[in-house]
Chains A and B, each alone.
Chain A
């Protein structure tokens, strides 16, 4: 298995590019050239699902409707993720740059940043940066416009179709898919929705060229990624690293010497126990992550960890579909009952079946991904669930 050594990268936060020049250069390219550059880079979405960004842009560009949109998903609600806040604080103009380039590629005149309500303290600074950005765009001769919308405290609004519902003034309830946003997104018009980090990488690829990005990482996970490291680590924080390292390599760098498990990808991600660190690649070929890396040492109860996650899902479920609304409640009650001894250990198997059923029957990614953390924690730390 290809295990890259840990390599720090500095594409996102580095200030060594003359940003107006990059923007001018990119916006002077044809839409075909922009899309080709992004396709060639191998960039995949950094919001979690990992859809190839170039494909998303290409599909949307092929739609013949005159009204299209670019949406920046800055709802960052996955537990353990805080990189988008940092990116929007330090290099907002690069995010906007990625949106403008995308707008050019797909033929959109308007972009929207949907910022989670918890980050309202950033609003004034982002608005200031937007004013500056619009001035720069004008000088270049582009009339692309970016608007800022605020969320109001709902994790589910990070799910793309719920986010559109919220932008349109509704409850943030996910839609059935298909149709996908490339065909019917915001206002049911063709829309590219990308994570904050994805947009910055798209912008940087316009600067450094697709090859330099493509040379980093592995066949399935090209480039680098911003990791949010928290939990039992002496050095919590934000790190931009080349993709393709094993969890063992990661833990050598960030662990406290006593790491028993790492939750990769937040509450909706997977828990990897120590014995699997060596064989687990962080990336789309192994365990993917939107950036969240939570480390737990041997003093932590994995029952508490799981209970915290299940409570999170129970609270954040939009309640629209039964498998998720009732399923989350039952999973929580179930693990509590086993822990108290009211139910036998075998009951955990029934709960796992329930989680698996949610995976295929829930309407959106929230309900579908509860099984990830549930099964990976119960499977690997069964005794802790019982005693």
Chain B
């Protein structure tokens, strides 16, 4: 039977002194994803392995990890597309918790800082909308792509700017900022434009495109950020 070699990053800060890579042989099954392999390890080979996952179908965005050097969703990545020997590490740029688990507090804080919700100038309307806000197809297409984000943090982990400048909002937050800016139902354009206009804000994006390359949902954060930059220059 064909087996897949998993080399998994192990480190538990409460007991381990040094990080190490543990190797496991997992029998291959057709259609096996990286997450399937890790769950096999956890069930049969080593119960102490810590991983985070939930939906197993690329919807919840909790199983992000670095597989063979690139950030990927473990449940969304077929073993077949990466190879028979896998190196699985935690996501970069996120604080490490244990084994393959990383902490997303900082990431979600940045997400929240761009006000990812629709804002109406009329506060009564904001609290209890009186009608539906209609949109044309063209208006919808301006932002619909960016609203597919599942906040899995892969783009944040791939971004070279985040890795050197931890204060940078990251591709996810900036793309979501543009998603609400471009929405015809939103009424807080001038406030939104102020949020990331600073030395460590949007101007530090250099269009390295890694965010769009690793995004599992086709959101294309790089495109959103460049369009956001255009809006910011326009003022």
Chains A and B belong together in one complex: no
